[in-house]
Structure 1
């Protein structure tokens, strides 16, 4: 991504025009060009002279998210006028960013984590925090947790404390966020369970309730051999006194209240018990 002036300084006017004719460059805005393979969200932010933020900034840093936004989140300075045509291309956010607050076309890793944990729903924020830890951002997360102040600081600290690098993917993180709304339930990602009769590493385990929660996707089993192995593992866990709950991606993402109700029933908690204020259930 570069302006026309930058490209001409690096090459020549003729080279730039030739690259545009051949499709090696794409014009995305007035005097602004990108390579064809540049991510569309990044190209859009560059076109409108803003910075990717929140979920789209997390994606730009290589972190996995619960759901990719259909319209990119883009931050603009508070006093900048955003032309009406641009407002239909992006979700407009306001932030006065300094040189250390940006990384390329996105907010910096630290600012991205801070904004996501402060502004996004809990399940989305936890998925991003878990992913950041998987990608080695433990120091960044600790710095955000230590320095956060003002409105939403308690939420940032709560999610930072709950974040866990052992979470395998956003699917599992969102399921854990649901479990955190169940009073008295603590689940651990990827805990190894081993006896003379079975060896397993469930997605989520609550030893005090002898509960195992598996996040099931059709692609994960891969073939009949994998499916058979999983069925045997679940059977052996059940025979060993564990309650095994298996949830699909569709239910976890789109029916969180129902998933919570099932988990409550499995551990003997009244599903009508008020959701802890600190962990509101996603819509």
Structure 2
């Protein structure tokens, strides 16, 4: 039975330390052998037909365990956000969603149940069944403040992880009267529909960041001295310094990238300097933005 035990151990290692009874039997262990391992304490019963062979300390091992043992379970909510790299959502309990009307529990895991999880609302990341980013945004809408939700929506659209349309389609599919978070998220989407990256939002937040850092002498929408029909997002004329808040989606386009490089060369040849900051810079590294601008002003 050594071969069967080794096979079971390998399965458990890939599932956060757990196996199902069916997996153990398929690997060559008999029902009596399984029950004997439970009686001696080698295996611990976690769910009906599910056993923990050993604990694993990995970042996603607990959610792997839950999705392996619970029926039609997917990492969801804040766990899904972590798996997808949605850094604006973190620090919440391990969560899964189960597509069933039956109540389920799992040690150390918050189990959500639903009956509206559609096939295009789920995917797999790192071998873990997980809700899509669009579905994850919809699911967490009820758990965070409107301001936080607004940042989450803008950040993920800016990072091109998801589109307004994808979030809207999931929202429309699961929305029902009284469902928590629906009105909040719909209001945010209504204010951004058709906007590729919400550049005005990025500029407003970037400008606010400068003001909060005590940089108050700048001018916005400043006509470029050598090309008055075009404008800098921000300019500090006495220092001949310009700041541009770059929309990620727009500036990932090859044509726009080349245009920006030409514009930057013109800035240098006319005795100015230009700093460019992206959505990620403003939202994830605000201190870096401030320090860079202050260093340029001091130079």
TM-score, normalised on structure 2? 0.46
Q: Which has the larger radius of gyration?
A: 2
Q: Which has the higher contact order (CA 8 A, sep 6+)?
A: 1
- Tell me which protein shows more strand as a share of its residues: 2
